[in-house]
Amino acid sequence: MLVKNPKFVISAVKPEQYPVSDLLEVAFAGRSNAGKSSLINALVNRKRLAYSGSTQGMTRQINFYDLDGELMFVDLPGYGYAAVSKDQKALWGKVVEGYLNVRPQLYMVLLLLDVRRDPSADDLLMYRWIREAELEHAIVLTKCDKLSRMKCRERAGEIRRAMSLPPEVNIFPVSSTDRTGLEALWEAIDTAVSD
């Protein structure tokens, strides 16, 4: 999809605050710094539509972006900050798991992982929630410009094994910096939502 006019809609925490809309939604999940905002911006060709508010710990809100009235991108709160308290973590869980389970128009979840890091316990938990909610999903390996193409492929295999990903779950290596893999990712999103 070639996005012409992406718009921020709302930041929400509770389901009552989610936008009233019948657009299909593609959600982006991942730990803080995984490259979520950069990827959303790169996919819609904007510099600062999405921004990470991760400096103060966890971003707790779910941000909704309307893409030309055709599709909604949903930026889920990042996780994995060491300084976060148990209460904050529980709140994050409630916000994210709540959204995954109550949003009928949620069509696909992309789980972002930094290609250089092994999946954390939080990444595995996130992946479990996505599977338990029986949502269409794929893994996106970010920052692939930091590694050679071959090394990136190797990492994809290692991460597939570490997460016990079944063969039908696709892994998309991307770079928001040099735009590697973005076309393939858009194709997968388009195919999923037009099915």
CB distance 35 to 116 below 8 Å: no
Site for ligand GDP (CB under 6 A): which residue of 6, 30, 77, 173?
Answer: 30
Q: Which is nearer to ligand GDP, 47 or 161 (CB)?
A: 47
How far, in Å, CA of 75 to CA of 66, rounded?
11
How buried is residue 59: exposed, middle or buried, by Cβ count under 10 Å (0-12/13-18/19+)?
A: buried
Rank residues 70 and 100 by Cβ distance to ligand GDP and give the closer one.
Answer: 100
Contact range with ligand GDP by CB under 6 A, out of 2-10, 14-22, 27-35, 164-172: 27-35
Q: How many residues bind ligand GDP (CB under 6 A)?
A: 18
Q: Between residue 70 and residue 129, which ones bind ligand GDP under the rule CB under 6 A?
A: 78
Taking only Cα atoms into account, the Rg of the chain, rounded to an integer number of angstroms, comes to 16
CB 123 within 8 A of CB 109: no
Least Å distance, CB 51 to ligand GDP, is 7
Residue among 126, 125, 110, 97 at smallest CA distance from 171: 110
Of 31 and 137, CB closest to ligand GDP: 31
Q: Is 155 in the site for ligand GDP (CB under 6 A)?
A: no
Residue closer to ligand GDP by CB (options 100, 112) is: 112
Strands (E), the chain: 6-12, 25-30, 62-67, 71-75, 106-114, 136-142, 171-173
Q: Which two tokens stand for residue 77?
A: 């709160």
Stretch of 14-22, 63-71, 119-127, 140-148 contacting ligand GDP, by CB under 6 A: 140-148
Residue 63 contacts ligand GDP per CB under 6 A: no
176 binds ligand GDP (CB under 6 A): yes
**Which stretches of the chain bind ligand GDP, using CB under 6 A?**
30, 32-38, 52, 54, 78, 142-143, 145-146, 175-177
